[in-house]
Structure 1
Amino acid sequence: MNALLKDARYALRQLRRSPGFTLTALLTLALGLGATAAVYSVVQSVLLEPLPYPDADRLVGLAFTFPHEGPNAEQTGAAAEFVRDHTDAFASVAVMDDGSAAVNLSVAGGRAEQVSSLHVSNGYFRTLGVMPAMGRTFSVDEDRPNGPRVAILSHGLWQRALNGDPNIVGRTVRINQDTFTVVGIMPASFIVSAESAPGVMGTPDLWTPLQLSPKDPGYSGDNYQMIGRLRPDLSLAQAQQQLSALQSAFYAQFPNYRNWTDESAAKTLHEFRAWKLQDVVVANARRSLIAVLGAVVAVLLVACLNLAGLMMARSMRRARELSLRTALGATRTRLVRLIAVEGLLLALAGGALGIVVARVTTGFLLKASPLPIPRLHGEPAFWLLSAVVLVLAVLSALVFAILPGCFALGSRSREARLNGPTLGETISHARISRMLVVAQVAMAVVLVSTASILLGTFLRLHALPSGVEQKQLSVFQVTLKGDRYASTQRTGQFVSTVLEELRHIPGVDRVAAVNGLPLDRGLNQGGNPADRRDLRQTVEFRAITPGYFVTMGMHLIAGRDITDADRAGSDRVVVIGASAARKWWPGRSPIGESVQLGGPVRWRIVGVVPDVQMHSLVEAQGIEIYGPMAQLSDESTAVLNGWFPTTFAIRTAAHVNLAASVQNAVEKADPEIPIARFTTMQDVIDSTIQAPRFFSMISAGFSTFALVLTIIGIFGLLSYQVTQRTREIGVRMALGASRRWVLGSYLRRGMVLTISGVALGLIVSTLLRPIVQDLLADAGIDTIAQKFVVNGVSATAIAVCAVVAATLAASWLPALRAASIEPMQALRTE
Structure 2
Amino acid sequence: FFGETVGAFPDLWIPMMMQDSIYPGRDLLTAAKDLTNMHMWLQVMARLKPGVTSEQAKAGINVAFKGLLESKVGASISAEERRKDLDQRVNLQRAAGGSSVLREHFGEPLKILMAMVGFVLLIACANVANLLLARGAARQREFAMRIAIGAGRGRLIRQLLTESLLLAGSGAAAGLLLAHWADALLLRMVSGASSGPPSIHLDLQPDARVLGFTLGVTLLTTILFGLLPSLYSTRLDLTPVLKSTPAGTPSEALHRRFPAGKILAVTQVAVSIILLVSAGLFVRSLSKLGEVKLGYNRENLILFRVDAAPGGYKGAAIPRFQLDLLARISAIPGLRGATVSKNGLFSGSESADPIAVEGYTPKAGEEMHSRMDHVGPGYFSTLGITILMGREIEAQDTASSVRAAVINQTFASRFFPNTNPIGKRVRDTYPGNPAEMVVVGVAADAKYNNLREKANPRIYAPIANPMWENSAAVYEVRTYAHPQAVAAALRQVVQEAAPTLPPIEIHTMSALIDDSVQTDRFIEQLASAFSLLALLLAAVGLYGLMAYTVSRRTRDIGIRLALGAAPANILSGVLRETLLLVLLGVAIGEPVALAGARLIKSMLFGLGPLDPISIFSAAILMVTIAALAGFLPARRASQVDPMVALRYE
Q: TM-score band (shorter)?
A: 0.7 to 0.9
2:453 aligns with 619
Moved more, 338-347 or 676-685: 338-347
Deviation at 1:550, TM superposition (A): 1.9
1:578 aligns with 409
1:760-781 CA distances to partner (integer Å, 9 max, x unpaired)?
212322432342235x1xxxx6
In the alignment, structure 2 segments of 5+ residues that lack a partner are 193-199
2:196 aligns with none
8 Å contact from structure 1 (residues 494, 670) kept in 2: no
Which of 326, 329, 346 is equivalent to 1:519?
346
8 Å contact from structure 1 (residues 462, 686) kept in 2: no
TM-score by length of 2: 0.84
What residue identity is the alignment partner of 2:624?
A
Asked if 1:764 corresponds to 2:592, the answer is yes
State the alpha-carbon separation in 1 of the partners of residues 80 and 641 from structure 2: 76
1:421 aligns with 246
1:135-166 CA distances to partner (integer Å, 9 max, x unpaired)?
8x55xxx5xxxxxxx15xxxxxxxxxxxxxxx
State the alpha-carbon separation in 1 of the partners of residues 54 and 314 from structure 2: 44
Asked if 1:797 corresponds to 2:613, the answer is no
TM-score by length of 1: 0.67
State the alpha-carbon separation in 2 of the partners of residues 763 and 402 from structure 1: 29
Aligned-partner SS, 1:574: strand
1:111-136 CA distances to partner (integer Å, 9 max, x unpaired)?
xxxx999xxxxxxxxxxxxxx9988x
What residue identity is the alignment partner of 2:372?
F
Deviation at 1:390, TM superposition (A): 5.2
Deviation at 1:722, TM superposition (A): 0.8
Deviation at 1:429, TM superposition (A): 1.0
8 Å contact from structure 2 (residues 491, 504) kept in 1: no
Counterparts in 2 of 1:377 and 1:573: CA distance versus 1, 3 Å: closer
Which of 82, 86, 95 is equivalent to 1:270?
86
8 Å contact from structure 1 (residues 476, 649) kept in 2: yes
- Structure of higher RCO (CA pairs closer than 8 Å, 6+ residues apart): 2
2:632 aligns with 813
What residue identity is the alignment partner of 2:179?
A
Deviation at 1:351, TM superposition (A): 2.5
State the alpha-carbon separation in 2 of the partners of residues 249 and 338 from structure 1: 68
What residue identity is the alignment partner of 1:825?
V
Aligned-partner SS, 2:485: coil
Counterparts in 2 of 1:241 and 1:354: CA distance versus 1, 3 Å: closer
1:347 aligns with 168
Which of 232, 244, 257 is equivalent to 1:407?
232
Which of 166, 169, 175 is equivalent to 2:22?
175
Residues 429-448 of structure 1 aligned to structure 2 (within 5 Å):
429-448=257-276
Residues 272-351 of structure 1 aligned to structure 2 (within 5 Å):
273-278=89-94, 284=104, 287-320=108-141, 343-351=164-172
State the alpha-carbon separation in 1 of the partners of residues 332 and 548 from structure 2: 73
Deviation at 1:812, TM superposition (A): 1.7
Which of 598, 602, 606 is equivalent to 2:436?
602
1:544 aligns with 375
2:32 aligns with 214
1:379 aligns with 204
What residue identity is the alignment partner of 1:629?
I
State the alpha-carbon separation in 2 of the partners of residues 243 and 348 from structure 1: 49
Deviation at 1:276, TM superposition (A): 3.6
Percent pairwise identity: 25
Aligned-partner SS, 1:218: helix
Deviation at 1:600, TM superposition (A): 4.8
1:733 aligns with 561
8 Å contact from structure 2 (residues 247, 648) kept in 1: no
Aligned-partner SS, 1:524: strand
State the alpha-carbon separation in 1 of the partners of residues 406 and 633 from structure 2: 69
1:628 aligns with 462
Asked if 1:567 corresponds to 2:381, the answer is no
Counterparts in 2 of 1:281 and 1:501: CA distance versus 1, 3 Å: closer
Moved more, 588-597 or 466-475: 588-597
Deviation at 1:591, TM superposition (A): 2.0
What residue identity is the alignment partner of 1:618?
R
Aligned-partner SS, 2:546: helix
1:392 aligns with 217
Deviation at 1:501, TM superposition (A): 3.8
Deviation at 1:405, TM superposition (A): 4.8
Deviation at 1:435, TM superposition (A): 0.8
1:248-302 CA distances to partner (integer Å, 9 max, x unpaired)?
8667645647957669xx9677346454422996984655543432221111111
2:289 aligns with 461
Asked if 1:749 corresponds to 2:577, the answer is yes
8 Å contact from structure 1 (residues 312, 404) kept in 2: yes
Deviation at 1:452, TM superposition (A): 1.7
What residue identity is the alignment partner of 1:614?
Y
Deviation at 1:711, TM superposition (A): 0.6
RMSD between superposed Cα atoms in Å:
3.9
Aligned-partner SS, 2:530: helix
8 Å contact from structure 1 (residues 309, 433) kept in 2: yes
Residues 610-759 of structure 1 aligned to structure 2 (within 5 Å):
610-632=444-466, 636=468, 638=469, 640-641=470-471, 645-655=472-482, 656-759=484-587
State the alpha-carbon separation in 1 of the partners of residues 189 and 442 from structure 2: 40
In the alignment, structure 1 segments of 5+ residues that lack a partner are 1-50, 54-98, 101-114, 118-131, 143-149, 152-172, 179-207
1:199 aligns with none
What residue identity is the alignment partner of 1:175?
I
Counterparts in 2 of 1:362 and 1:625: CA distance versus 1, 3 Å: same
8 Å contact from structure 1 (residues 457, 788) kept in 2: yes
1:592 aligns with 423
1:465-523 CA distances to partner (integer Å, 9 max, x unpaired)?
11120011122222233582323334433443354245424x32222221112333222
Moved more, 273-282 or 791-800: 273-282
What residue identity is the alignment partner of 2:424?
E
Aligned-partner SS, 1:310: helix
8 Å contact from structure 1 (residues 358, 385) kept in 2: no
1:627-670 CA distances to partner (integer Å, 9 max, x unpaired)?
2211226xx2x3x22xxx42222222222523322221111111
Counterparts in 2 of 1:478 and 1:360: CA distance versus 1, 3 Å: farther
Counterparts in 2 of 1:630 and 1:533: CA distance versus 1, 3 Å: farther
What residue identity is the alignment partner of 1:826?
A
8 Å contact from structure 1 (residues 502, 662) kept in 2: no
State the alpha-carbon separation in 1 of the partners of residues 124 and 144 from structure 2: 30
What residue identity is the alignment partner of 2:618?
A
Moved more, 653-662 or 277-286: 277-286
Aligned-partner SS, 2:37: coil
Counterparts in 2 of 1:719 and 1:241: CA distance versus 1, 3 Å: closer
2:195 aligns with none
State the alpha-carbon separation in 2 of the partners of residues 245 and 667 from structure 1: 50
State the alpha-carbon separation in 1 of the partners of residues 204 and 227 from structure 2: 36
State the alpha-carbon separation in 1 of the partners of residues 54 and 214 from structure 2: 38
What residue identity is the alignment partner of 1:411?
L
What residue identity is the alignment partner of 1:408?
S
Counterparts in 2 of 1:502 and 1:349: CA distance versus 1, 3 Å: farther
1:34 aligns with none
State the alpha-carbon separation in 2 of the partners of residues 330 and 738 from structure 1: 47
8 Å contact from structure 1 (residues 510, 651) kept in 2: yes
Counterparts in 2 of 1:668 and 1:303: CA distance versus 1, 3 Å: same
Asked if 1:553 corresponds to 2:553, the answer is no
Aligned-partner SS, 2:453: coil
Deviation at 1:828, TM superposition (A): 2.7
Aligned residues: 624
Deviation at 1:714, TM superposition (A): 0.6
